[in-house]
Structure 1
Amino acid sequence: ISAMMADRSLPPMIWVFLDHSGATGTNEFADSVNNGPWGKALTEELIPALERQYAMDARPSGRFLTGHSSGGWSTLWLQVRYPKLFGGSWPTSPDPSDFHNFTNIDLYAPGANFYRDAKGQPIPLVRDHGKLIATMEQFARAEAVLGPYGGQIASFEWVFSPRGADGRPVPVFDRATGKVDPAVVAYWRDNYDVANIVTRDAAALRRDLDGKIHLTVGTADTFYLDGPAHLLEAAMAKARIKASFTYLPDKTHFDLYVRGDDKMALMKDNAWAMYAVARPGAKRPAP
């Protein structure tokens, strides 16, 4: 980062890299009944402490979010949950933001199943362009063998699910059959489906969220995350909240940032877009 700022390929900014990993998986910096109030701790404790200690631009136009994959979902949810605090979010390839397409699963469909679609066909989860690599069932069963904590699906439940009588998150689906629990899905919808939150709270969010979401995903995303991004884009448009969505042709989950020989090209683009908000009129140096 310092080298890229020194050669002016990145603008002068203070970067804070947040580690959201933990014993139960990733906490996403989302407020959760299972993991705790990570969003509240970030926004009410950590950020104010940093701004007291360092020469930071302590105003919304000086605070920006960006992250990839689960970090992309986190920075998307944080911007929607705390729209006045941040001046914009640049999520890349975020985890599903509309649960009508939770990596190819419509969680709201009657009789929804994590493993099979309405026609009984296996639900794909991982692809390499046109080649299927793994199904959701294969992924879920492999994760179950490895243990109940720390995997991707378990992480979702530790963040999104209500707490059960045993003190653990209530599973969103039966690991043996794939059957989805509609009551758990309803809880997920009300608290963590970003498209639903934007639609439901459009009037309250519009002023503070307008123009602040800038999402980028590849059309060949390895985990099919371009699908839910399209649904979120439609929800934002219906809510009349301005947002920008960019779909990079043939890019996957893992080469999204690459352009030519530059492996960090998208990061640089997003950083300069942030800087334009913080310092209107600033010019990006010619390459």
Structure 2
Amino acid sequence: MVFGVTVDHWKPGEPVLVDERAFGYPVRSLRDVPASDASRPRPAGALPPGEYMVQAVLNRYETFHRADGTTVKLHMDQGEGQHWNISPGNLYSKPQRITLNELAGLRKPFSLTLDQQIPPIPEPKDTKYIRHIKIQSALLTKFWGRPMYLSAIVLVPWGFDEHPDAHFPLIIFHDHFVDGFDNFRTEPPDPNLKPDYSDRFHIAGYNRIQQEEAYKFYQQWISPKFPRVLIVKIQHANPYYDDSYAVNSANVGPYGDAIETELIPAIEKQFRGLGAGWSRFVYGGSTGGWESLAVQVFYPDHYNGAFAACPDPIDFHAYTNIDLYHDKNAFYLYGANKTVEQPAMRDYLGHTTITTKQVNEYELALGDHGRSGEQFDIWQAIYGPVGKDGYPQPIFNKETGEIDHQTAEYWRQHYDLEHILETNWSTLGPKLQGKIHIYVGSDDTYFLNDAVYRMEDFLKSTSNPPYDGEVTYGPRAEHCWNGDPTQPNYLSRLHYNTMYLPKILDRIEKTAPAGADLTSWRY
């Protein structure tokens, strides 16, 4: 259970009260905490008697004076990927056990002291194959009114240092914030690794499978016939989330232009990229799947192909299972005589694991004004306009679920990828022919296949030119299925770095302009 309050101008030594007014999840208020022993008396409005483990964490906000004239208070990422519970500088108390008797409950406050601080994260070190780059972005610094940085982890090919005249194709692996390549391992699996069980994939020893696949990829990476390319993971955590969705946004800033015009040229200069649109590709899953398709659409000449697996909603008629344009409410489906709360997550058998209402209650417990650092809040920040208070304009009321259709129309015009393609196909189509590849499980955990169905219907209807790409579904596959029909879902998600390379190389051969460098990187 988590209960959150917002504090402002808090001074050391001053107490802050967390009581029944604090917004909580999965229990709405401290007064509603269920009793472990229903037979024991419970004082009105108080916690039931019993033993509790409690801890307090302060997620520290910074004040930003943005270039658009707004002043907002947000948590700035400290190198951890915008996770409040591990963010350096955040304060916390030691866990404490308390005992409440029948007469105490909430009426007798207990105190927690924020006397601990999360330490800084050491700077990452380069290795033979994994390199790092960090730049200050002029565009983002101007927008946020303080120094802002972009960085990337670059997987360089075998022979990179020994072939200084070679230049390489560039592949962006869009993902959430990562501090390394977890699917690249230069050592065999740890023989002392204790096998775990993956509830998500229903398989024992998943951690060992991950290590085995990561080591297998390393062995491929250094083999003589493996393609010599640069694979890049961008680090673009920001004051709202662990990444920026790689596009320009009224609330989050011009991350799209910053990545495309500042970071990628710096990467290609330092690591000898070929530096041309025909030699650049993007792939990724989930958030990375949406980003891959989005940057291909918004920067059609910058890339020669996008491979989008299980993308976040690419048509807001199917914003997970919500139709933002026609539904009245994001939480409930209304009938003539009943109201049904809608699911947010399911397994491949259709079991609901959490509802949309519950997800948003969790986010509210972590932060108001869209400051939770979680999924619905970042969609709102990226896709929406700036509200009157300087924070993102809500797409729906987080307590009632009522949808704001005026804001939904803003979303449609700026970030509904299907709508943008359909509206602009006469100009975008010739630039995107053969570049769009989408993969999703037919039982995606977050209902993301629904939006892909709509996108596929449009893409199949295209002419002048036809899209000439692919849309593929994994039967009974849950989230992160990436298009490999020969692999079970738990394994296919580990193969992003190898799955699309044959298609990328084929595309390069067919589309590289006359005189292009097709040899220096084929040593």
TM-score after normalising by structure 1: 0.91
Q: Report what 1:250 is aligned to.
A: 476
Q: Distance in 2 between matches of 1:151 and 1:266?
A: 24
More strand by share: 2
For residues 7 and 34 of structure 1, do their structure 2 counterparts lie closer, same or farther at Cα, with a shift above 3 Å needed?
same
Query: 1:57 and 2:274 equivalent?
Result: yes
Q: Report what 1:133 is aligned to.
A: 353
CA-to-partner distance for each residue in 1:118-159, whole Å, 9 max, x for gaps?
Answer: 433212110011211111111111111121320101101110
- Residue type of the partner of 1:278? I
Q: Report what 1:72 is aligned to.
A: 289
Shift of 1:257: 7.2
Q: Report what 1:47 is aligned to.
A: 264
Q: Distance in 2 between matches of 1:9 and 1:229?
A: 35
Any residues of structure 2 matched to 1:1-287 within 5 Å, and which? 1=184, 2-7=218-223, 11-25=227-241, 26-109=243-326, 111-119=327-335, 120-129=339-348, 130-148=350-368, 149=371, 150-240=373-463, 241-254=467-480, 256=482, 259=487, 264-280=494-510
Shift of 1:244: 0.8
For residues 83 and 28 of structure 1, do their structure 2 counterparts lie closer, same or farther at Cα, with a shift above 3 Å needed?
same
- Residue type of the partner of 1:24? Y
Q: Bigger shift: 74-83 or 273-282?
A: 273-282
For residues 28 and 118 of structure 1, do their structure 2 counterparts lie closer, same or farther at Cα, with a shift above 3 Å needed?
same
- Residue type of the partner of 2:340? Q
Q: Bigger shift: 230-239 or 218-227?
A: 230-239
- Alignment gaps of 5+ in structure 2: 1-183, 185-217, 512-517, 519-523
Contact 1:72-1:93 within 8 A present in 2 as well: yes
Shift of 1:172: 0.3
Contact 1:122-1:135 within 8 A present in 2 as well: yes
Shift of 1:271: 2.2
More helix by share: 1
Q: Distance in 2 between matches of 1:113 and 1:8?
A: 56
Contact 1:199-1:235 within 8 A present in 2 as well: yes
Q: Distance in 2 between matches of 1:255 and 1:72?
A: 11
For residues 239 and 280 of structure 1, do their structure 2 counterparts lie closer, same or farther at Cα, with a shift above 3 Å needed?
closer
Q: Report what 1:285 is aligned to.
A: none
Q: Distance in 1 between matches of 2:347 and 2:393?
A: 32
Give aligned pairs, total.
281
CA-to-partner distance for each residue in 1:173-206, whole Å, 9 max, x for gaps?
Answer: 0112100001110110000000000011111101
Contact 1:34-1:169 within 8 A present in 2 as well: yes
For residues 8 and 178 of structure 1, do their structure 2 counterparts lie closer, same or farther at Cα, with a shift above 3 Å needed?
farther
- Residue type of the partner of 2:471? F
- Residue type of the partner of 1:216? Y
Q: Distance in 2 between matches of 1:171 and 1:44?
A: 30
Q: Bigger shift: 96-105 or 57-66?
A: 57-66
Contact 1:10-1:268 within 8 A present in 2 as well: no
- Alignment gaps of 5+ in structure 1: 283-287
RMSD of aligned C-alpha atoms?
Answer: 2.2
Aligned with 1:233: secondary structure?
A: helix
Q: Distance in 2 between matches of 1:229 and 1:83?
A: 20
TM-score after normalising by structure 2: 0.51
Q: Bigger shift: 39-48 or 192-201?
A: 39-48
Shift of 1:249: 1.2
Q: Distance in 2 between matches of 1:273 and 1:115?
A: 41
- Residue type of the partner of 1:11? P
For residues 136 and 208 of structure 1, do their structure 2 counterparts lie closer, same or farther at Cα, with a shift above 3 Å needed?
same
Shift of 1:242: 2.9
Shift of 1:54: 2.5
Q: Distance in 1 between matches of 2:265 and 2:366?
A: 39
Contact 1:87-1:212 within 8 A present in 2 as well: yes
Q: Distance in 1 between matches of 2:351 and 2:329?
A: 23
Larger radius of gyration: 2
Shift of 1:274: 1.3
Q: Bigger shift: 95-104 or 250-259?
A: 250-259
- The higher-RCO structure (CA 8 Å, 6+ apart) is 1
Contact 1:10-1:271 within 8 A present in 2 as well: no
Q: Distance in 2 between matches of 1:38 and 1:274?
A: 26
For residues 121 and 51 of structure 1, do their structure 2 counterparts lie closer, same or farther at Cα, with a shift above 3 Å needed?
same
Shift of 1:164: 1.3
Q: Distance in 1 between matches of 2:483 and 2:223?
A: 19
CA-to-partner distance for each residue in 1:46-67, whole Å, 9 max, x for gaps?
Answer: 1122222322122222100111
